[in-house]
Structure 1
Amino acid sequence: MNTPAAPNHAHELDRLARRRAAARMGWYLHAVVFLAVNALLATLSLSSGRHWAIYPAMGWGLGLLIHGLVIWLVLGGGGLQQRLVAQERERLRQEHGR
């Protein structure tokens, strides 16, 4: 993720905060879709008498884990989008003495 080394005014801080918050919201959406689809697959798997749903869940789960590591380790923090934007704005202000 390319970010300016030291955003120097409120507009840049707001833009960066919104971009980081959007990245986190993307992960939340990814996790919700993962849970919904894999619950459906598990139901189908159990009704067929075979336990095949574990394989797509493990593969996709690995992708979700990697996505989460990138988002949470690189960006840090959490919450709903408006709360995320506010938190990022405050964090950036503290980092850059504003």
Structure 2
Amino acid sequence: MRHDAMHRPASPDDENAMAYWRAHRMVRALRGWYLHLLIYLAVNGWLWFRFLFMPSPNWAHRSVEAGWPWPLTTTLAWGLGLAIHGLLVWWRVSQRGRDWESRKIDQFMNRD
């Protein structure tokens, strides 16, 4: 689809435009979750690297015996948020994908 056609207002009766709009929204939601995952991995990787290989801040405990490892709170809390975000995105995508097989069959049958 051409770039100028993407921003042209579509008629509510235009089935292809509505399908494209829904697909575009799902792809953006997936991309947002993947970006969230990438940032989570980078930040938490840095925090754990800092905890394990660099001097600990005065307020932090170095070992598990001395207390809760300080990066664990961030990893768990953010991980819960990431999981909820992922469930919401994947649920939305899977709801739209219930008839995936029939759409794929139609797609392959209509190939030129």
* Offset of residue 64 of structure 1: 0.1
1:20-59 correspondence to structure 2 within 5 Å: 20-46=26-52, 47=54, 48=56, 49-50=62-63, 51-59=69-77
Point out 4+ residue stretches in structure 1 off by more than 6 angstroms.
none
Number of residues of Structure 1 aligned to a counterpart in Structure 2: 78
Instruction: Report sequence identity in percent.
Output: 33
Residue aligning to 1:17: 23
Displacement after TM superposition at 1:76 (Å): 2.4
- Larger relative helix fraction: 1
Q: Which amino acid aligns with 1:56?
A: T
Q: What runs of 5+ residues in structure 2 fail to find an aligned partner? A: 1-12, 57-61, 64-68, 108-112
Quick one: which of 52, 71, 80 aligns to 1:62?
80
Structure 1 distance, partners of 2:22, 2:91, is: 16
**Match of 2:70, SS?**
coil
Alignment RMSD: 2.8
The one of the two structures with greater contact order (alpha-carbon pairs below 8 A, sep at least 6) is 1
1:85 aligned partner? none
Q: Which amino acid aligns with 1:11?
A: A
Q: Does 1:75 align with 2:81?
A: no
Unaligned runs of 5+ in 1: 1-6, 78-87
